[in-house]
Amino acid sequence: MIRIDIATLFPEMCETIMSESIIGRARREEKFKLYCHNIRDYTLSKQRHVDDYTYGGGHGMVMQADPIARCIDLILWQHEAAGRDRPRVLFMTPAGHPYTQEDAKRFAALPGLVLVCGHYEGMDERVLEAYADEEISLGDFVLSGGELPALAVADSVLRLQPGVLKNPEGYEGESHYDGLLEYPQYSRPEVWRGRSVPPVLLSGHAANIQQWRQEQQRERTRVRRPDLFQKWSGERGGKKDDTGK
């Protein structure tokens, strides 16, 4: 069973998000372990300060290395004391590599993750040098803190755990799982504001429906994300799928 630890200045925010919807239900059913740690609990400052001015001058404050290190040290000790393998330590930073579904699948196979959330103008570089196995970014933009990226990583990893989704097909056909975008989805009514459900989906012919969905995946990815389509095509090396294409 995977264990995820989130080191943050806002544990209540993380607890709230991770206690809702599918992930919240799976957490209550103990499909995984998840703990949120308040970095302020590990400062030696009586005022519970975890930040200070940056050397060299500049705007804003920087999170100090020591409270973060103390928090991570305790988490690592807890894993060791429980006889668990050392978790992979991920720092949420704008300088990290862009997160992908392949990362989610890779992390989902691990016994544990520690997600460290930065804030203010960032974290003292020395704590990253000492602890970071990887740095993760959600994209080429900047947020006010690392909590949203950490929650996104946790959600994407946890939904791949056994029993979190009732059926693995719930994620195996989704966008990015196999390198393509997901095919279009439809529900009732059959006609909505003059727009009809594609007839093939009403045919009841499973093979035709499967072929249509695969074709839609390829075409949708080619048009909307040519970068993904080119990568997918290159990785396949001209191989045919089960539709013969």
Residue 121 is predicted with a pLDDT of 85
- In the predicted model, is pLDDT for residue 93 greater than 90? yes
With bands split at pLDDT 50, 70 and 90, how would you rate the model's confidence at 242? very low
With pLDDT > 90 as the criterion, what percentage of the chain qualifies? Answer: 80
Whether residue 234 contacts residue 245, with contact meaning beta carbons closer than 8 Å, is answered with: no
Q: Collapse the DSSP code of 239 into the 3-class scheme (helix H, G, I; strand E, B; otherwise coil) and give the result.
A: coil
**Comparing C-alpha atoms, which of 106, 102, 100, 101 is closest to residue 88?**
106
In the numeric block, the tokens 């950490």 are attached to 150
Q: Of the candidates 66, 101, 107, 65, which has an alpha carbon nearest to the alpha carbon of residue 87?
A: 107
Return the top range by mean pLDDT from 49-53, 72-76, 119-123. 72-76
What backbone phi and psi angles, to 5 degrees, belong to 72?
A: -65, -40
**211-214: long-range contacts (C-beta < 8 A, 24 or more apart)?**
211/243, 212/183, 213/173, 213/183, 214/183, 214/241, 214/242, 214/243, 214/245
pLDDT at 1: 96
CA distance 158 to 1: 10
* Residues 146, 8 contacting (CB under 8 angstroms): yes
Q: Give the percent of the chain with pLDDT over 70.
A: 93
**The model's pTM:** 0.84
CB of 183 within 8 A of CB of 209?
no
